[in-house]
Structure 1
Amino acid sequence: MDQFSYDENRRIFFEVLERLIKENHLKLHKKGELLNNSLDEQLTNFHREFPKTKDEMQEGLWFYFDECPAEPVWVLEDGSLEWA
């Protein structure tokens, strides 16, 4: 990851996130409730709240803070959900 700038890592993160959701490998939730707004709205909100700098990411801990707008829910092959 250090071979890319923070902005490049951020861009890659959102590309992968969008692909995982579109291919039904991942859903997003907040406090145990699946997000039901459109994919565009989910990604826009996540992008807006995402740390602008590497320091704001706090070594990846930001994902565990309340400011993070969503958490992952993996969709297993049988269609069941694995809550992270």
Structure 2
Amino acid sequence: MNRERFEYIRDGIEGMELDALWDYALEASDFFDEQRQFFFMILEKLIREGNIRLIHMHTKVPMSGTAEQQIDAFMKVFPRGAEEMNGGLWFFSEECPGGSLWQAR
């Protein structure tokens, strides 16, 4: 993905929760595995570039660990199919380990 496309997505979801990123993943492919891969590629880039920090969904405390460790925590519990994703509602469920805290640019 080129820089321009990444910035377009970043600007489109800035200040929003992770389900907004999932909407872009849905546009990227018709296949769940490819959507999942796209989601994590952008999420990792957002974390590494300091655009967001992942926070625990209910306590709002920043998640510990490196960007890779935080992504791994999400990947372990991430839905394996569209049915489990439930139209993006998974991001607001007890199973979701966290949400996004946007950092000022």
Regarding TM over 0.5, the answer is yes
Whichever structure has more helix as a proportion of its residues is: 2
Percent of matched pairs sharing the same residue: 32
Query: TM-score, normalised on structure 2?
Result: 0.69
| Structure 1 stretches of at least 4 aligned residues deviating more than 4 Å after TM superposition | none
Whichever structure has more strand as a proportion of its residues is: 1
Structure 2 Cα separation of the partners of residues 14 and 40 of structure 1: 10
State how 1:43-54 maps to structure 2 within 5 Å. Answer: 43-54=71-82
Query: TM-score, normalised on structure 1?
Result: 0.86
- The answer to whether structure 1 residue 71 and structure 2 residue 71 are counterparts is no
- For residue 45 of structure 2, what is the aligned residue in structure 1? 19
Number of corresponding residues: 77
What 5-or-longer segments of structure 1 have no aligned partner? 78-84
1:66 deviates by: 1.2
1:40 deviates by: 1.6
Q: Is the 8 A contact 2:55 2:99 kept in 1?
A: yes
1:38 deviates by: 1.7
